[in-house]
Structure 1
């Protein structure tokens, strides 16, 4: 089973599979998926999709890559869910609503975090790619 399939099998299976990777690969994997989802559709999409399972690890990944700003932005977005982050997708969906009719409170809550995330990635251009590539080369 590939790691990308494990996130559909629940938090325990996914986290056990993720921990089989070297730590630096875990950092790249989790921060990559968060970056990919957020830049494609914002934090609502990231948390709505199965990839939202790895949000806490993505915070650690961004910190390991030396991107404290993105770690803090993601931490702020995670706060939408309260003190206990719901790794199970169905629990996140209870708060987010269906994709076709999202919870407006969630969409509004995430907007400033989306903007801050996009601003970091775009100033300067390709900032994320250069940072992730540099981290990967240093492994």
Structure 2
């Protein structure tokens, strides 16, 4: 059994290895250079951290939103298809092509708020469901991530 603590939790991964702060192109370029295990754990960590801290709006409005498609793929790889489906559904709020650019996502969320100041957060109905899935689908995201790393000699 290989020790995978260098990949999970994320806090031990070098923060510069995958860039979420320098735009979609920099993210995709740095993402491609990381190992598959590193990619999956990176995306799973950020999805969990952002959603549990501030919901899907926080995940999408922060720099982390750049990795939403990869977070969906990570959920599928660690055998959490329902969580993947719910995140993908939330992504569809932005339109048929998910905008990796943070500014585009922020503008869409701001327009939504301006159109109806009393409107709820567009993801409020999904937030609890997604948070619950992080804990309750299968063996939960953390344990699913650890199991994936064990199976793949992370």
The two structures have a TM-score, normalised by structure 1, of: 0.85
**Among 53, 58, 65, the residue aligned to 1:52:** 65
Query: Can you list the C-alpha shifts for 1:95-120, whole angstroms capped at 9, x where unaligned?
Result: 1129xx9x76561x212221211222
Match of 2:87 in 1: 74
C-alpha separation between the residues in 2 aligned to 1:3 and 1:93?
25
Give the alignment's Cα RMSD to 1 decimal: 2.4
Flag the structure with more relative contact order, 1 or 2, with Cα contacts below 8 A and sequence separation at least 6: 2
Listed as ranges, the gaps of 5+ residues in structure 2 are 1-14
**Structure number with higher helix proportion:** 1
Secondary structure of residue in 1 paired with 2:21: helix
Instruction: Work out the CA distance in 1 between the residues paired with 2:33 and 2:133.
Output: 31
> Which stretches of structure 1, 4 residues or longer, exceed 3 Å deviation after superposition?
103-106
Partner of residue 3, structure 1: 17
Seen in structure 2, the aligned counterparts of structure 1 residues 114 and 104 have a Cα distance that, compared at 3 Å, is farther
Q: Number of residues paired by the alignment?
A: 134
> How far apart are 1:128 and its partner, in Å?
2.1
Give, in whole Å, the separation in 2 of the partners of 1:84 and 1:71: 17
Matched with 2:56 is 43
The alignment's TM-score, normalised by the length of structure 2, stands at: 0.77
What aligned pairs does 1:83-122 form with structure 2 within 5 A after superposition? 83-97=96-110, 105=119, 107=121, 109-122=122-135
Please identify the structure whose Cα radius of gyration is greater: 2
Match of 1:62 in 2: 75
Q: Could you list the runs of 5+ residues in structure 1 that have no partner in the other structure?
A: none
Q: Distance in 1 between matches of 2:120 and 2:97?
A: 17
